[in-house]
Amino acid sequence: MVQQWDRILQRLGNSGHIPLVAALTACRIIASDETTLGIEVPDHRDCTLLFRDTQQHLDHITATAQNVSGHGITATLIMAPGSRSSGRYREAEEHPSVKKLRRLFSAEILAFEPMSEAEWERYLSSLE
């Protein structure tokens, strides 16, 4: 399912679930096999607000994942307490460039996608 995560997000977006997709971009897959999709939800204000109605969102994610994969899948949301105030998310928010961009554009960080340096280089190469 990890390989099909982008397709799942795209289908959710195409079906009008834009806020859900925005929140899911801050999440990460922590468990995945042919029948299970475990999604870790960071302790982020936007995610917390959106996932208050967890069952409805789980139903959308599960139905879309089943549609993409062609077989039964169970999606689970796992809330990650404290991830906003510690670790890589906090480091990203505290980076001088991020602070400057937020100040210049009066912006907020809506999603945080953990990515290794090698993954970032591959992503940049794919844009060329």
CATH number at residue 74: 3.30.300.180
Domains identified in the chain, total number? 1
Q: Is the pLDDT of residue 37 over 70?
A: yes
d(CA 2, CA 33): 8
Q: Which domain holds residue 20?
A: 2-126
H-type alpha helices, the chain: 5-14, 18-24, 45-50, 54-69, 87-94, 96-105, 117-126
Give the global pTM: 0.59
The tokens describing 15, both together, are 């079906």
41-53 tens-digit pLDDT: 877 666 766 676 6
